[in-house]
Amino acid sequence: MKIRRFAMLIVAMAVGTSAMAQSLDIDQRVEELLQKMTLEEKIGQMNQVSAGYQAIDAISNGQVGSILNVVDPVEINAVQRAAVEKSRLGIPLLVSRDVIHGFRTIFPIPIGLASTFDPALVERGARVAAIEATASGVRWTFSPMLDIARDPRWGRVAEGSGEDPYLDIQMGVAMVKGYQGDNFADPTCMAACVKHFVGYGAAEGGRDYNTTMISERALRNVYFPAFKACIEAGALTLMTSFNDVDGLPSTGNDWLLRNVLREEWGFDGMVVTDWNSSGEMIAHGFADDLKDATKISINAGVDMDMMSYGFIQHAKALVEEGKLSEQTIDAAVRNILRLKFRLGLFENPYVDESLARKVAYAPEHLAAAKQAAIESAILLQNNDNVLPLAKGSTILVTGPMADAPYEQLGTWAFDGEEQHTVTPLKALGAHFNVINVPTLTHSRDKSTANFKGAVRAAKKADAVVVFVGEEAILSGEAHSLSDLDLQGAQSELIAAMRSTGKPVVVVVIAGRPLTIEQDANNCDAILYSFHPGTMGGEALADLLAGVAVPSGKLPMTFLRDAGQAPFYYNHPMTGRPNNGSETLLNDIPMKAGQTSLGCTSYYLDTGYGPWLPFGYGLSYTTFEYSNLTLDKSVLNKSDYIHIDFDLTNTGEREATEVVQIYVRDLVGSVVRPVKELKGFMRVTLKPGETKHLMYDLPVSDLAFWNRDMEYVVEPGKFQLWVAGDSASGEPLDFIVK
C-alpha cells in the first residue's frame, strides 16, 4: 500500500510539474509577444465587437481582439485568417457567443437545470453545448450566470440557479467543468465566463438593470461564494454586471475587480464588460462621457470592452495624457493573451467547416437533453394520484404550450432550431389516444372563442391535459413582470376544463416561478417544467405516462402573490417571527384594536408563508425519513458532522428522492438565516426499499462572515434537518465549541 501511495504521489507531482511548466511556458510566450506590440495593437486586443465580415479591415489592422455573435464556421475562418495571416503579429481572435443552455441541442433553461439537483447531469449538458458550439468555431461562452435571484419578477431568474448560494455553487461549478473540460487547449474546450459580478439578481423591485443595495457582509455571505468557487474550479473569464453596488457600477468598481477578485482570490483570467456596461456608466451618472468611462473601467481592472467602443477610441489618448498608464494596459493585455494561449488558439486558430453539422443533434446529445428535461420537471400537485395517466387512455390535449416548438426552447436559445424541437403534442401519441383541440394560440391570447369546442371534445376523453405557461419572450433579460399570474385567458381555460368533470392535468411550461395557487384549485395535478428545450415534449410525455417518474425540486420559493416578493426560504431571522397564528383580512373584526392581530411578520391578505417552499417536489411514490442521528452532539471546528438516516420508498414505483440537508445557526454575532442548505444527494429506491444513508458535513461549512468581517465558524448551538424540502422534517440539535 505504501509503495502504491508513493507511486501515486510521484505521478501527482509529475502532473503538477507539467502543469507548472506549461504555465511558465505560456507566461513566457505572453511576455515575448507583449514586448513586440505597439500601444495601438495592445488596445486592439481589448476591443470586442459584434461583427464578422464587416470587421475584417479592423481585424487585419490589429484593432479587434474578440468577436461575438458569429456562428458560421466559414465566416469565422475568414475573419480568423484576417487576424492570423494579415495582421502584423498574427494574434488570433477569440470567438464568443451566448451559449447558455445548449447550442443546437437545447437543454432546459438554467433554472430548470437547477431543479434537477444533479450536478453531474448539468456538467454533461454543458459538455454537449461545448462540443456543438466549438465545432462551429465558438470558443468562449458567457455562462454560467451565478446571480442569486430571490425575486421572480426579475426575468433573468430564468438564466440562473435560483435563490440558494449552495445550489448556485454546485450548478455553477458543474457548468464550468462541462464547458471547459479537462484540457483548455482541447478544441472542444469552450471558455466559461462567470457572470454577472456582482449582485445583479438583487435589482430593486425585480426590475432589470435596476440599482441594488447590498452590504459587504451580504456580498460575502450570499453573492460572492459561487463566483469564488467557480474561479477555484478554473473558470477562465468573468463578466462585470450592469448594476451598481453601494453606488459604484461594477464595471468601474476597483474594490471588486482588484481587491477582491485579483488580490484576495488570485484570479488570473480575463475580465470583460457586459454589453456596453462601460458606456452605460454615463447614464448612471458615474462617468462624464465615453472617454471618462474608458478611464474608469480600465483603471478599475477591466481587460476587455464589449461593444462600447470606448477603449479603441480613447485608451491611447488617455495614456498619452497620463490618465492611464501603459503598465495598466499591459496587465489587461497579458490576461487576454494568456487566455488565447491557454485555449491553443495560436496553434489551432481554424475550425473544420464540415464538423458543425456532424455533431449537432447527435443521438447521445438528444438523450442527455431528454434526461435533463425529465429530471427538471417538478410535480407540484397530484390529487388522488391522477398522474401518471393510464397508458392507452384517451386524453384531450389543449392549451397554448402544447405545440409551441419555438417557445419551448426558452430564453437565450439563439442557435436552437425549432424544427428539431419535439413538442408534447408530437410525443404524447406514443402513449395515448390524443384528441387535440387548439384553444389559445399563444400564452397572451385572451380569446375564449374556442373553449366550447374543447369542452365538447372532453366528453370523449378519459382526462384533459392543459399546457399553459409563458412564451420565451416573457422571461429572460429585460423581461420583468409585476404580475406573475398566467397571462391571457389561460386561467379561464383551466377553469373551463374543470367544468367538464374530467380529471384535469395542468402542465406549466414557463421561464420563471408563476403565481398559480388559484389555478391549483381548478385541476387535479400540476407538472411544472421550466422551458425544457429540444426534447421537452418526449420528456413530459414519458412523465405523464409514468415511463419516467418526477424527481425535480423547486430552486426558488413559489409565492402566493407577486406582492410577497422578494421571499426566500433562507431569510434572516426577525425579532417578531410569525408563529403560525394569523388573522387574515376578511377575519378582522370591525374596530379591532391596533395590537389585537398579534404584531408578527406576515401579510394580512396572503398570510406569512409562500405557496410552496424551496426544495419542494412530489413523486409518483412517497418517501419516509427515519432514524436520523448524529454521531456527536458536541463537535470541534475541525470535525465532520456525521449524519446517519434511513430513507424508505413507501410506494409502488421505483423513484428518485433529492435528500436535502439544512442547518440553522441559532445565535450569531450577526443575524443568521433561519435555514441554509448545506448538502443534497439523489437517491434512487425500488418500491418498499430502505437504504441506510450517511453524509459527512464539515463543520467548516458552517463558517460565515461575522461581525468583525472575519470568515469563521462561531461556537454555539445549531439545528440540522434532513428532509425532502426546506419546510419539512424535525431538527436535531448539536453544539460547536
Number of alpha carbons in the 13 Å side-chain half-sphere of residue 78: 13
| Mean pLDDT for back-to-back runs of 10 residues, the chain (737 residues) | 42 49 87 98 98 98 98 98 98 98 98 99 98 98 98 98 98 98 98 98 98 97 98 98 97 98 98 98 98 98 98 98 98 98 98 97 98 99 98 98 98 98 98 98 98 98 98 98 98 98 98 98 98 98 98 98 97 93 94 94 94 98 98 97 98 98 98 98 98 98 98 98 98 98
Q: What is the DSSP letter of 514?
A: -
Select from 289, 284, 231, 221 the least CA-distant residue to 253: 284
Position 641, amino acid: I
Positive or negative, the CA dihedral 512, 517, 518, 522 is positive
Same domain assignment for residues 528 and 389 = yes
Same domain assignment for residues 538 and 637 = no
Rounded to whole angstroms, how far apart are CA atoms 171 and 163?
12
Domain endpoint, select from 524, 545, 566: 545
Same domain assignment for residues 511 and 653 = no
Same domain assignment for residues 502 and 628 = no
For residue 356, is it within any domain?
no
Rounded to whole angstroms, how far apart are CA atoms 70 and 82?
15
Select from 408, 556, 397 the least CA-distant residue to 470: 408
Bridge-based pairing of strands 270-272 and 237-240 is parallel
For residue 718, is it within any domain?
yes
Same domain assignment for residues 488 and 634 = no
Domain endpoint, select from 512, 545, 578: 545
- Retrieve residue 26's grid coordinates: 505560456
Rounded to whole angstroms, how far apart are CA atoms 112 and 116?
7
For residue 72, indicate whether it is catalytic: no
Q: Please name the helix (run of DSSP H) or strand (run of DSSP E) that holds residue 661, with its range, or none.
A: strand 655-665
Same domain assignment for residues 390 and 514 = yes
For residue 453, is it within any domain?
yes
Same domain assignment for residues 632 and 533 = no
**Contact between 366 and 404 (Cβ < 8 Å):** no
Select from 64, 192, 57 the least CA-distant residue to 123: 192
Which positions ≥6 away from 583 have C-beta within 8 Å? 596, 597, 598, 604
- Retrieve residue 217's grid coordinates: 457582509
CATH number of the CATH domain containing 540: 3.40.50.1700
> If you count them, how many residues does the chain have?
737
Same domain assignment for residues 524 and 642 = no
For residue 355, is it within any domain?
no
Rounded to whole angstroms, how far apart are CA atoms 299 and 329?
9
**Contact between 196 and 244 (Cβ < 8 Å):** no
| pLDDT, position 23 | 75
pTM of the model: 0.96
Please list, residue by residue across 570-598, b when 16 or more beta carbons sit within 10 angstroms of its beta carbon and e when fewer do. bbeeeeeeeeeebeeeeeeeeeeeeeebe
Same domain assignment for residues 520 and 636 = no
For residue 250, is it within any domain?
no
Number of domains in the chain: 2
For residue 273, is it within any domain?
no
| pLDDT, position 580 | 84
- Retrieve residue 429's grid coordinates: 401519441
CA-based max dimension of the chain: 84
Which 3 state secondary structure label does DSSP give 75? helix
| pLDDT, position 9 | 45
Same domain assignment for residues 419 and 530 = yes
Same domain assignment for residues 540 and 686 = no
**Contact between 706 and 669 (Cβ < 8 Å):** yes
For residue 175, is it within any domain?
no
End-to-end CA gap in the chain: 36
Same domain assignment for residues 420 and 510 = yes
Options 274, 305, 415, 519, the catalytic residue: 274
Domain endpoint, select from 485, 516, 545: 545
- Retrieve residue 104's grid coordinates: 443546437
Q: Which domain holds residue 506?
A: 367-545
CATH number of the CATH domain containing 720: 2.60.40.10
